[in-house]
Amino acid sequence: MSAGHDHDSENMSDARLVWAVIVNVGLTIVQIVGGIISGSLSLIADALHNFSDAAALGLALFARRIGRRPADKLMTFGYARAELVAALINLTTLIIVGFYLIVEAVNRFISPQPVEGWTVVIVAGVALVVDVITAVMVYSGSKSSLNIKAAFLHNVSDALASVGVIIAGTLIILFDLYVADLIMTLVIAAYVIYQGFSIMPRTVRLLMGAVPDELEFDRIVTALQELDGIDDIHHVHVWSISEHHRALEAHVVLVGGSLEEFETLKAKARAVLEERFHIEHATIEACLRTGCMSESEACQSTQNM
């Protein structure tokens, strides 16, 4: 169950993301030049992946700033979902880059070219250092934000790709094993695609307004039914306003009493929802059951929270 606030993401300053973008753009240029000089496809693949890192970090920063905008007449729940949109874009580009690398590796296998091993190892070594530093810079925010986590995964996968490129360059230096460059490109591509698809489902579910955790739906209903004064509950809807803010609306059938007494019951329900399930926004309609009246007939008046 997610915490109600993304403190780690908020505590990570925007300046870290800005510097991460600048460093990764510079590294991309170095890698592309090194890849052209050495003839290494895996180094150019790593450069393209690194450029996607810079774009992912830049998009994450942009989405963070939009997400802080307050609610208005157009977006009455605020702009926090901008970060989820950014996460989806970043994950999609991660997958596209992965498939592009596979195509390039196959083309290079058909038309092989010589590779300068030492240039590959040196440039990839520099890239690895930069990737590790960038990952450390954004790690704190990745623990509680899908937006930052998507950008962080871009960076981590690029660091692993740099390790792979170093291995490929070493094999070329020692054994003239040029096919290692192509094999490593395919390994990098497979890992990139895997990372993209691993987080995509949760991001899509949140954007579509799915229940934050399927197992919690029944627990939420049970918790409300256990409150004194509630006979039944129906028309329950739970969704995520943003990654860390949930909302609920429901109809509750009262055991008896007046709607004035329902004010006290609402306060209890609000406390349970916020403390146990981190639901900060709730709307509850009160229904009175009399005799054998049907559920639709029992809903005589409404009281919103």
Residue 288 contacts residue 254 (beta carbons within 8 Å): yes
Collapsed DSSP state (helix, strand, coil) of residue 40? coil
Residue 108 contacts residue 206 (beta carbons within 8 Å): no
Spell out the domain ranges in the chain. 7-207, 214-298
Which region holds residue 122: left if phi is over 0, alpha if psi is between -120 and 50, else beta? Answer: alpha
163-209, pLDDT tens digit by residue?
Answer: 888 888 888 888 888 788 788 878 878 887 887 888 888 888 888 88
DSSP secondary structure letter of residue 178: T
Domain 7-207, CATH among 3.30.1490.20, 3.30.1360.120, 1.20.1510.10, 1.25.40.10? 1.20.1510.10
- The whole-model pTM stands at 0.68
152-169, pLDDT tens digit by residue?
Answer: 777 777 787 778 888 888
**Residue 246 to residue 222: CA distance in whole angstroms:** 18
- Superfamily of segment(s) 214-298: Cation efflux protein, cytoplasmic domain (3.30.70.1350)
Over 80: is that where the pLDDT of 89 sits?
Answer: yes
Which region holds residue 302: left if phi is over 0, alpha if psi is between -120 and 50, else beta? Answer: beta
238-283, pLDDT tens digit by residue?
Answer: 988 877 788 999 988 887 666 677 788 888 998 999 999 889 889 8
The dihedral built from the CA positions of residue 72, 77, 79 and 82, taken in this order, carries a sign that is negative
Over 50: is that where the pLDDT of 231 sits?
Answer: yes
Query: Strands 230-242, 245-254: parallel, antiparallel or unpaired by DSSP?
Result: antiparallel
Q: CATH topology of 7-207 equal to that of 214-298?
A: no
